[in-house]
Structure formats: C-alpha cells, structure tokens
Amino acid sequence: MKVSIITPTYNSEKTLKDTLESILKQTYTNYEHIIIDGNSKDSTMQIVKEYEPKYGGKLRYISEKDNGIYDAMNKGIKMATGDIIGILNSDDIYANEKILEKIVYQLKKNNADGIYGDLIFMDEETMTKPQRIWKSPKGKVEFGWHPAHPTLYLKREIYDKIGMFDLQFKICADYDFMIRMLQDKEIKLDYLEEYLVFMRVGGTSTAGIKGYIKNLKESHQVLVKNKIKFPYFVDFLRIIKTIKQMKFINKNQ
C-alpha cells in the first residue's frame, strides 16, 4: 500500500530538515512526500530542493500563496496518489524509523479504514524534553475524545466520503474533520498503542496560554457546528484531559 505524506510549510527553515530526515529514515519505502508551501519568504524552498535528490522521485511540491495550513492540507490531499494519507507537519518528526511500516501492517492486518496512535509534545528548541503526552485509547466524541490528529492515517476513500477541512476554522479544522468522521459509525479506526509522532510546542494551537484559549474558543464553535450536545461540558472535559496530560509528564520526570 502506498502512503502519501503531506507536509504544509511556511517559513519553516528552522525545523524542516528534521522533518525531512525523519521521513527519509523510514524503513517502509512505498510512499510519496507532498510538500505544500505557502510561498515562504525564507529558505524553506531552497531546503526542499536540496533534499529532492535524496527522495529518488518520491518528493513532490508546490509553492504558492494559500489560505493557511488547512488550505495547504486540502491541496495536498487532492494531489495525493497513495492508498493511505497522513499529515506530518513541518515542525514534527516520526517517533522512530519504523512508524510507516507499523501503520501499514496494522491497517492491513485489521482491515481498518484508518490508524491512529499516541503523541508526545516536545520542547520547541531541542525536541528532546517531553512537555505533554497524549495517549489515545478509544473514547466517545460526545465526551470530547478524538485521536491526536498528527498520528491519524486514513485510507484515501475516507476523505472522499467525509470531505476536506473546513476553512472557516483557522486552528481547529482538524477537530471539525475528526468529529465528522467519528460520527460516521461505518468507519473503522484502529488504535496503534505506541508513540507515532513527536510534535513541537509553539505552533498556533500550542503557543502558551493565549494559543490554548484561541484553540478552546474555536473548538467550541466546532462543537456547536456539529450539534454536539452540552458543548460547554465537553469544553470542560477537554480542559481536564489537557491538565492530565501535563500532570503525566510532571509525574514521570
């Protein structure tokens, strides 16, 4: 099964090399890497072109003005030719070199429509200090549960069925997409119980307390749009979940 990995970029020169190296180290080699750049003003595209020969024809890219990260993701999904589609952001890396191999193996073994796993938020500077751990055992969307989106790999037909990311949301379009997907009881997701992705803190949705408040406000709008009952209660449950994730780190340091 061919995997399409989509990476949105915009002025990503400080972190992109780590992401590219992470993909090139994967033991599973039947993939394509699609980079959708938002017309970066730094050396992002120079880095992409420097790495292109290392991919042996598996790298495709465009660079043009876009409507933000979810617009870039939508473009990447439309360009994808793989059987499975996943997103690895330009400041994230795979947890180890066997991640794609394990995703494809378990998806085929269990005849699932998608795979998700666990996520570690790392410090922005060194990517070596865990800041928050997101464990993703099965839960209910009505109680604020959803997979960690950077770990979610779906068969391409799921996007055909559910649709793309809703661009009215600037921070939480992935949450909106996942709620729509999780409300479809015919879609079978399988949980791979291990850390799949290391994610840098400091992006729009994780940039301190201000970023968290923005995320919470927009996620509430997502709940209302999707007619989730008692949205304020769900907001509260999601806050508690985040606190528990941080406590887990403090407990194990």
Place of tokens 């960690």: 148
pLDDT of residue 136: 83
User: Which whole-number Å values give the CA distances from 168 to 70, 171, 222, 244, in the listed order?
Assistant: 10, 9, 10, 30
* Mean pLDDT across the chain: 92
SS3 26: coil
pLDDT of residue 198: 97
SS3 34: strand
pLDDT of residue 246: 65
Structural contact between residues 36 and 71, judged by C-beta atoms closer than 8 angstroms: no
Give me the torsion for CA of 192, 195, 115, 104, rounded to 10°.
-90
Amino acid at position 222, single letter:
V
pLDDT of residue 124: 87
pLDDT of residue 125: 86
Report the relative pairing of strands 3-9 and 92-94 from DSSP bridges: unpaired
pLDDT of residue 208: 56
pLDDT of residue 209: 66
Length of the chain: 253
Domain count, the chain: 1
Q: Is the pLDDT of residue 132 over 80?
A: yes
Q: What is the mean pLDDT of residues 207-236?
A: 85
pLDDT of residue 251: 47
Question: CB neighbours of 252 closer than 8 A, spacing ≥ 6?
Answer: none
Q: Which residues of 116-127 are buried (b: 16+ CB within 10 A; e: fewer)?
A: bbbbbbbebeeb
Question: CB neighbours of 142 closer than 8 A, spacing ≥ 6?
Answer: 228, 229, 234
What value does the CA radius of gyration of the chain take, rounded to a whole number of Å?
A: 17
Look up the domain containing 221 and give its range: 3-252
CA 175 – CA 221 distance, rounded (Å) = 11
| Residue pLDDT, tens place only, 7-56 | 999 999 999 999 999 999 999 999 999 999 999 999 999 999 999 999 99
Q: What letter does residue 195 receive in the DSSP assignment?
A: E
Q: Is the pLDDT of residue 98 over 60?
A: yes
Confidence grade of residue 190 (pLDDT, cut at 50, 70, 90): very high
> What CATH number should be reported for the domain holding residue 18?
3.90.550.10
CA 226 – CA 189 distance, rounded (Å) = 20
Confidence grade of residue 247 (pLDDT, cut at 50, 70, 90): low
Structure tokens at 21: 């190296």
Provide, rounded to the nearest whole percent, the portion of the chain with pLDDT above 70. Answer: 93
| Residue pLDDT, tens place only, 136-181 | 888 888 888 999 999 999 999 999 999 999 999 999 999 999 999 9
Q: Is the pLDDT of residue 204 over 70?
A: no
